Structure 1
Amino acid sequence: MMDTTEKRPRRAAVSSVRARIYTIRAAFRSRLWPLPVVAVALAVTLGVGLPILDDLVDQQLPEVLQRYLFSGGPEAARAVLQSISGSLITVTSLTFSLTVVTLQLASSQFSPRLLRTFTSDSFVHGTLALFLGTFSYSLTVLRTVRSSTSTGSEFVPDIAVTVAFLLAIASVVGLVLFLAHLTREIRVESMMRNVHTATSATIRRVIPQYQAPGATDAPPSVGAATAVGVAENPRGQRIMSSSSGFLSAVDAAGLAAAARKSGAVIRLDQRPGASLIAGVPFATVWASAGRAFSSAELEELTAKIGAEVTIGFERTDDQDPAFGFRQLADVAARALSPGTNDPTTAVHVIGHLSSLLCELVGRDLSDERIRDSDGTVRVILARPRFYEFLSIAVSQIRHYGLQDAAVGSRLLALFEEVAWCDRRGAALEALHSGLGEVRESMELHSYTSAEKRMLVDKYEHVRTAVSGGDPLR
């Protein structure tokens, strides 16, 4: 039989590399400047190269092809290029202004945490890149147009000017598509869909499917030597955070390598999305055979651990699936505020949250253990528990929205739907506790007799489902 334990570190390393690549890509994707800067560089290169090619092949092109190329003189070429460059910088300013207005609207009306969704929009990046690239290309080609003088003959780069004309047409089409895209993306339904899609992708990427343990599977342990260390020093030694911010990403393979080299077990007590404060513990380490690390060893191990975690000034969805729940819950809370008073949006948010919770009940939310080739656990990474996701999804809506019977009914339906999807019963305890809190909150509000009867009947129906009965009976 093949020994699969030897492949675990390799798989962890590959997974870590993929996570690091994804983190870097996500960091660039959330900024507006990388793609436009690349487009400007390529446009300038093309603007330098095409006139040279023009000079080499212009007289050798077939006549049928020359009919479709620019055929004007130097003055006409300058007029075309100046018109394109002048109008494109104006259109670019308009596009940027509309984007800023959209960001402000999303921040004030829905949630400040939705700004990252808009700044990560590849369509916006592509549109700005097209406009700035066309502008830079036209300016670069403009400098190569020459009129006939005593020191040289006239030169009009027909191919280059034709390409500038085509880029201008593409920019006009891009502007129309951008306006259509903007009006679609600014709708709250589109924003909720985007957050839902991103959160679902994060769940699938960082939380594995639950696998029922086989009869021959050994319980997770920390290895013989390390078990002694944990037993003799159950509290371990604390690792302090070197800076303040949000824990954005963790390089699991890097932590495993640091633990193996130091002969330690590292438990990361905080998970991606947690707020870290400089000087406050966020991890625990144990030395093998029950000994304690010296001050110098602990300082070195602290530096190694700090190098394998990323601390940023804002939460991201790279390794933090709870962030998407927070974004959706914020939209619901803002919709339920007296200044907005939009319970329908809150009902739609609950539908998205229910779908994500149903996806979570099939996932393994136990702590992740990364092992050596000999099966010794070297790194323990905490994962958020289901009740934490449920609390994020329900608490604020329960607090602000139960005065509306439609919101209360939809919130009760969430518990029923998740209970139906929870085939192994892992979430029933959390659902039962959360349902009791909803019932207590409902008693604090006044309803009409019809609304109260409807909510009570719905509650009893859902309570049967959460207690293990058939949710659809």
Structure 2
Amino acid sequence: MVGVALAIGLGVAVPALDEALGGDTPFTFVFGGGPSAARDVLAAIAGSLVSVTGLTFSLTVVALQLGSSQYSPRLLQTFTRDRVVQVTLAQLVLTFVYALTVLRTVRTQDDESGTSAFVPRLSVTLAYLLTLGSVVALLLFLGHLARSLRVETMLRDVHDEAMSTFDEEVGSGPARPVPALPTGPPSALPARSSGFVVHVDEARIVAAATRCDAVVVLVPRIGDGVVAGVPVAHTWLPDGADAGQLQEALDAGVELDFERHADRDLGYGLRTTVDVVSRALSSGINDPTTAVHGLGHVSALLGDLAHRSLGPASYTDDGGRLRLVVPQWSYADLLEVALEEPVQYAEGSPAVLRRLAALLREVAWRAPAGVADEALRHWWGRLEVVAARTSDLPAAVVEQWRTDLEDALAEHWAPR
């Protein structure tokens, strides 16, 4: 839409400049043909750009289909936000609309009406330059598309997006403590609609809770699904207080959507990467190499999260009184998202089992003491059961994996 608006503006302004100059331009490289030649050039540009734009849209749709069916439907968000795709389509549409807009200004001489011929030479020259730019944009787009369809590129993009979310949402340091809540039974406030929580307007809810002298604890985390009629929050209100203001603030402050977003959802990047791993381990694709590569990204993300300030976020009013608690993903929950499906589907694939054992060892080494010891031992037990059912793995190898994990938990990394 920006390209269309810019094209119309240029298509009106540049011919007006041509007419003001009266054909006397200080440049020697401008278009030198007559009205018929100008029309032919602009018509050729407009016609060819329609075909190229259709081709580009078709290639984009094919890329979306391949990414969705081969890897994960959640990768479509990353691809549709790709600036190279957006700028290429804008360049092609801009050139097409500009050529059409300038075409209407070309006039031939008419003796009966007294109309003189007009050839917008600068405008036609600019159309030619925009066409050259479109050709370059198309070539760059084809190369970018070929790189974007590689699973390594998709996993890298998801990894970078997840790290950006981590940096914006949680800082480094120990996990945040659970705040002390008021005593007594809370009141439940239901959700008015269904969807995934994608954003929470903490300031709006805190302001409403302050006016009601209430404390609000949200039930879902950002990224969790909510069903209409099910409690979305618990609140402690003074006797006789009206919960209508809080309900209205929650309806407006807890933003729901039909799909999860990566902007504030800590678990989304892990979920997308694990989807790629699980799809690679399916019988229809059977690509353990992609699964191993994806688990490398999972290990890196989990290792970074181990040093983050996870736990519920507390918000207070101007007087320092607790007003709102927003739950956050715990490290145990994130480990479950990352490992549940890969461990389940890894049976019969020694390479994937070996990478999962290495992942547990790497996370144990990177996580501060006591943060994930119990959870890692739990997942090692699950992995050991699956490894025992894989006949290609000697028992001594599996026992060595256990030793490596315990050494990493004890902050010792044995050389090989």
Q: Would you call these one fold, judging by a TM-score over 0.5?
A: yes
2:232 aligned to 279, 282, 285, which one? Answer: 282
Q: Does the 8 A contact of 2:266 with 2:329 survive in 1?
A: no
Deviation at 1:446, TM superposition (A): 2.0
Deviation at 1:38, TM superposition (A): 1.3
Q: Does the 8 A contact of 2:178 with 2:311 survive in 1?
A: no
In the alignment, which residue of structure 2 is the partner of 1:106? 67
1:94 aligned to 31, 36, 55, which one? Answer: 55
Q: Does the 8 A contact of 2:347 with 2:389 survive in 1?
A: no
Distance 1:208 1:469 in 2: 24
Corresponding position: 1:368 with 2:368? no
Q: Which amino acid in the other structure matches residue 200 of structure 2?
A: V
Deviation at 1:292, TM superposition (A): 5.7
Distance 1:276 1:85 in 2: 49
In the alignment, which residue of structure 1 is the partner of 2:397? 454
In the alignment, which residue of structure 2 is the partner of 1:465? 408
Q: Does the 8 A contact of 1:39 with 1:132 survive in 2?
A: yes
Distance 1:204 1:416 in 2: 24
Residues 52-71 of structure 1 mapped to structure 2, 5 A cutoff: 52-62=16-26, 65=27, 67-71=28-32
Q: Does the 8 A contact of 2:102 with 2:124 survive in 1?
A: yes
Distance 1:308 1:58 in 2: 59
Secondary structure of the residue aligned to 2:74 is: helix
2:358 aligned to 401, 410, 413, which one? Answer: 413
- Unaligned 5+ residue runs, structure 2? none
Corresponding position: 1:268 with 2:231? no
Q: Aligned pair count?
A: 413
Q: Does the 8 A contact of 2:295 with 2:355 survive in 1?
A: yes
Residues 199-210 of structure 1 mapped to structure 2, 5 A cutoff: 199-210=162-173
Q: 1:376 to 1:220 in 2, by over 3 A?
A: farther
Q: Which amino acid in the other structure matches residue 455 of structure 1?
A: V
Give the aligned CA root-mean-square deviation in angstroms. 1.7
Corresponding position: 1:390 with 2:335? yes
Corresponding position: 1:342 with 2:292? no
Q: Does the 8 A contact of 1:419 with 1:471 survive in 2?
A: no
Give the TM-score normalised by the residue count of structure 1: 0.84
Tell me which stretches of 4 or more aligned residues in structure 1 moved more than 4 Å. 219-222
1:171 aligned to 134, 138, 148, which one? Answer: 134
Secondary structure of the residue aligned to 1:317 is: coil
Q: Does the 8 A contact of 2:175 with 2:311 survive in 1?
A: no
Q: Does the 8 A contact of 2:88 with 2:138 survive in 1?
A: yes
Q: 1:292 to 1:341 in 2, by over 3 A?
A: farther
- The structure with more helix, counted as a fraction of residues: 1
1:181 aligned to 135, 140, 144, which one? Answer: 144
Q: Which amino acid in the other structure matches residue 462 of structure 1?
A: L
Distance 1:114 1:97 in 2: 18
Corresponding position: 1:312 with 2:257? yes
Using CA pairs under 8 Å that are at least 6 residues apart, name the structure with larger relative contact order, 1 or 2: 1
Q: Does the 8 A contact of 1:462 with 1:471 survive in 2?
A: no
In the alignment, which residue of structure 2 is the partner of 1:31? none
- Unaligned 5+ residue runs, structure 1? 1-36, 214-218
Distance 1:379 1:322 in 2: 22
In the alignment, which residue of structure 2 is the partner of 1:24? none
Distance 2:249 2:205 in 1: 8
Superposed CA deviations along residues 192-216 of structure 1, whole A, max 9, x for unmatched, are: 0011110111111111221599xxx
Secondary structure of the residue aligned to 1:239 is: strand
In the alignment, which residue of structure 2 is the partner of 1:12? none
Q: Which amino acid in the other structure matches residue 305 of structure 1?
A: L
Q: Which amino acid in the other structure matches residue 84 of structure 1?
A: I
Give the TM-score normalised by the residue count of structure 2: 0.95
